[in-house]
Structure 1
Amino acid sequence: MRIVNPSVTKELLKQYRVTLRKRLGQNLLVDPNILDKIIEVAQIREDDCILEIGPGLGALTQELVRRARRVVAVEYDRKLCQILKEIFASTQNLLVINADLLSLDLASLAQEHTLTKVVSNLPYNIASTAALRIMEECSNIAEMTVMVQKEVAERMAASPGSAAYGSYTLKLRYFAQVFPLFQVPRTVFLPPPGVDSTMVKIGRDTYWQKVYPVRDFLFRIIELGFGQRRKKLVNCLYSGSALRLSKEDVVQALNSAGIDISARAEELSLEKFVQLGQALWPLLHQSSTRFNNKSPD
């Protein structure tokens, strides 16, 4: 019996007296056609160890354990965890963990269970943060096939100059490439959420980490640039001496990176931000030396 069925899902909710909570993003997939498409694009191999986040009643879990070597399902809701353990009591390759994913040491979790992929209908309330943290902290996870809100998917895959393009886009792109796969209407969930969703593939890409490993500084520049996105980048970086650089230093770095001094952050690709970081870094240290050696009044 497949769990991904409206009548089966309703019966389970009734049997276990479960009230789904909107604030936790508890919207259960009840369309078998959508589930089949997810499994198809996830390309699960027999040796995969998969992380599922927010399994709910186990509709996706049921398909994952049939295909993967091991599935680790992290569920925040204690009652749903108890139900999952009961439903899958005889399943040997499933571990259900009752926890808030964002409170876990994700790197340790991934290493301990040799996780290779994430396949999940991500809870809306943690989707964007979870995707970025996993790519940032879990180097052995090669890819994520996940469902997120349509708006979040647009932010993930946005291009420079678009309204959805921002610091989140660039940070995720530093670790991975994002490929939107297909749209998912709100009508295939119980209860229906207030927004449509998109299935995306997030594939690890280490290119930019090798080109520019000074991640914290790069992210600082990106955050400053988008902190006031309608301001020119030169003013964002200089304003309030955010980097303790003179305006002349910032202009010099922009010129070195081949960036017009009238440009705004939303116009720059990750490549340009990396080039800007490479130009600013030595100036930052020169400025620090000048500041430390400055004679007191």
Structure 2
Amino acid sequence: MKQNFTPGAPHKARKRFGQNFLIDHNIINQIARSVHPRPDDIVVEIGPGQGALTEPLAASATTLHVIELDRDLVPWLKVRFEKHPGFSLHQADALKFDFAELADDNRPLRIVGNLPYNISTPLIFHLIGYADIVQDMHFMLQKEVVKRLAAEPGTKAYGRLTVMAQYYCNIDWLFDVPPGSFDPAPKVDSAIVRLTPYKTLPHPARNVGVLEKLVTAAFGQRRKTLRNALKTFCDPLQLESMPVDLSKRAEALTIADFVALSDAIEPYVL
């Protein structure tokens, strides 16, 4: 069932913005229940589009920031939601947005979004950089991306995104969303995922920058052994003292393994 809009409702979805507007009220309500915003939360919605999810979020949260790139949607969103005193609209690119501007000392951010599939991975990398000021993140993503986020070692989906997301966050695959829940219907299945940043990292790296370089190098040559991937960091003699079996491939390592390896190569990288 499609949502009813007031006269002058927004234009059709634009492919260049990766827009697929959510129209299924059952799914909208299910997402809202999963987020369960409370009055004192700072909720941030990325890509509100035509406001389908914005409505229940604004009804529950006193403070709601929405970030919309499409300038043509901005005036309509303002008119529709300006009745909510805690509503703020930011016409901006979420990939470049400084989310630290929205947090305060006592209230972490709760981020929600139907993320455009064409920028979902870089946007997740951008957002986990703010993990220390985020309570949780609920995203609608392409199902294949959710598989990668929730993947386990030894699987094809396990990769750079998996390791870095799971380093910072606990990942919960909540439920799937069929193409017919959108207008226009995408050619792929979607899913809702919750990322909850750890208050205390289970496996803290001595230098997360080195960890990031290691993970990028390891999965950049995922068919090769770790020994080959580490040649750019260490000489052959240094590789002999590594705490991980370097004959393995990157997808065989756990998060703890990557951190142990990162700590071991740190003196040679800096």
| Pairwise TM-score range, normalised by the shorter structure | over 0.9
For structure 2, the residue ranges without an aligned partner over 5 or more in a row are none
Counterpart residue number, 2:161: 168
1:25-78 CA-to-partner distances (Å, cap 9, x unmatched) read: 211111111111101111211111100000011111110011012110000000
- The alpha carbon displacement at 1:277 in A equals 1.7
Counterpart residue number, 2:183: 190
- The alpha carbon displacement at 1:104 in A equals 1.7
Partner of residue 134 from structure 1, selected from 121, 127, 130: 127
Q: Verify the 8 A CA contact 2:110 2:137 in the aligned structure 1.
A: yes
Query: Is 1:271 the counterpart of 2:256 in the alignment?
Result: yes
- The alpha carbon displacement at 1:17 in A equals 5.8
Aligned length: 270
Counterpart residue number, 1:250: 239
Partner of residue 86 from structure 1, selected from 79, 94, 100: 79
Partner of residue 211 from structure 2, selected from 207, 215, 218: 218
Distance 1:111 1:153 in 2: 30
Counterpart residue number, 1:294: none
Q: Do the aligned partners of residues 99 and 209 (structure 1) sit closer, same or farther apart at CA in structure 2, a change above 3 Å counting? A: farther
Counterpart residue number, 1:6: 2
Partner of residue 146 from structure 1, selected from 123, 139, 143: 139
Query: What is the one-letter code of the residue matched to 2:96?
Result: S
Counterpart residue number, 1:260: 245
> When the two structures are superposed, what TM-score results if normalisation uses the length of structure 2?
0.93
Counterpart residue number, 2:148: 155
Distance 1:63 1:179 in 2: 22
% identical aligned pairs? 35
Counterpart residue number, 1:48: 41
Q: Do the aligned partners of residues 8 and 165 (structure 1) sit closer, same or farther apart at CA in structure 2, a change above 3 Å counting? A: same
1:79-123 CA-to-partner distances (Å, cap 9, x unmatched) read: 111110111232212111111111222223434995520122222
Distance 2:248 2:214 in 1: 14
Distance 1:189 1:90 in 2: 27
1:126-164 CA-to-partner distances (Å, cap 9, x unmatched) read: 222222322212522110111111011011111111111
Q: Verify the 8 A CA contact 1:175 1:206 in the aligned structure 2.
A: no
1:181-215 CA-to-partner distances (Å, cap 9, x unmatched) read: 00000111011011111101100114438732410
Counterpart residue number, 1:77: 70
Secondary structure at 1:217 match in 2: helix
Secondary structure at 1:95 match in 2: strand
Q: Verify the 8 A CA contact 1:71 1:95 in the aligned structure 2.
A: yes
Query: What is the one-letter code of the residue matched to 1:58?
Result: G
Query: What is the one-letter code of the residue matched to 1:265?
Result: A
Distance 1:187 1:274 in 2: 41
For structure 1, the residue ranges without an aligned partner over 5 or more in a row are 289-297
Distance 2:165 2:213 in 1: 14
Query: Is 1:103 the counterpart of 2:96 in the alignment?
Result: yes
Query: What is the one-letter code of the residue matched to 1:250?
Result: L
> When the two structures are superposed, what TM-score results if normalisation uses the length of structure 1?
0.85
RMSD over aligned CA atoms reads 2.1
Distance 2:185 2:88 in 1: 28
Q: Do the aligned partners of residues 53 and 202 (structure 1) sit closer, same or farther apart at CA in structure 2, a change above 3 Å counting? A: same
Distance 1:184 1:17 in 2: 23
